[in-house]
Amino acid sequence: AQSVAQPEDQVNVAEGNPLTVKCTYSVSGNPYLFWYVQYPNRGLQFLLKYITGDNLVKGSYGFEAEFNKSQTSFHLKKPSALVSDSALYFCAVRVPHLSGGYNKLIFGAGTRLAVHP
C-alpha cells in the first residue's frame, strides 16, 4: 500500500536551533514528495517538493528537505528555527488515482512544530 508516515506528533525546538521534521514514505515507482505547512484554521501552504534531481531541495521560508531513497525518507529541515515557524507540517506523496487517469496526494498525519523563544 502507498503511504506516508510522520512518526512524530510533535517536535519541540528552541528558537535559533536547527529543526528536523521526519517523513518516510512507501510508494511504488519514483516518488513525488511534498511538504506543506498549515496555520490554525487555514488551508495548506506549499513549502517544497522533490520530483527528480538533487536530493537536497530548498523551499520557502528557509526550509529544505533531503530525499533519501535508500531510507525512503524525506525529512524537512531548517538550520535555525523561528518562533513563527510554529505550525502543523504535512508530508505528502503523489500517487496515481486508481480511476480517472490523474494523480492525487496522500498526506501524512502531520507533525506539530513548536518553537520556543
Partner 1 sequence: GAVVSQHPSWVICKSGTSVKIECRSLDFQATTMFWYRQFPKQSLMLMATSNEGSKATYEQGVEKDKFLINHASLTLSTLTVTSAHPEDSSFYICSAREAPGSPLHFGNGTRLTVT
* Angstrom distance (rounded) from CA 10 to CA 50: 23
CB of 70 to partner 1, least distance (A): 26
Parallel/antiparallel/unpaired status of strands 111-116 and 10-14 = parallel
Residue type, 35: W
Q: What is the DSSP string of 30-78?
A: S-EEEEEEE-TT--EEEEEEE-SS-SEEE-GGG-EEEEETTTTEEEEEE
Q: Which is nearer to partner 1, 92 or 115 (CB)?
A: 92
Could you say which of 44, 66, 77, 82 contacts partner 1 (CB under 8 A)? Answer: 44
107 counts as binding partner 1 under rule CB under 8 A: yes
Neighbours of 76 (CB within 10 A): 26
Under the criterion CB under 8 A, does residue 97 sit at the interface with partner 1?
yes
**Given the rule CB under 8 A, which of 21-29, 63-71, 74-82, 101-109 is the region that contacts partner 1?**
101-109
46 or 61, CB closer to partner 1?
A: 46
Instruction: Enumerate binding residues for partner 1 (CB under 8 A).
Output: 36, 41-46, 90, 97, 99-100, 102-110
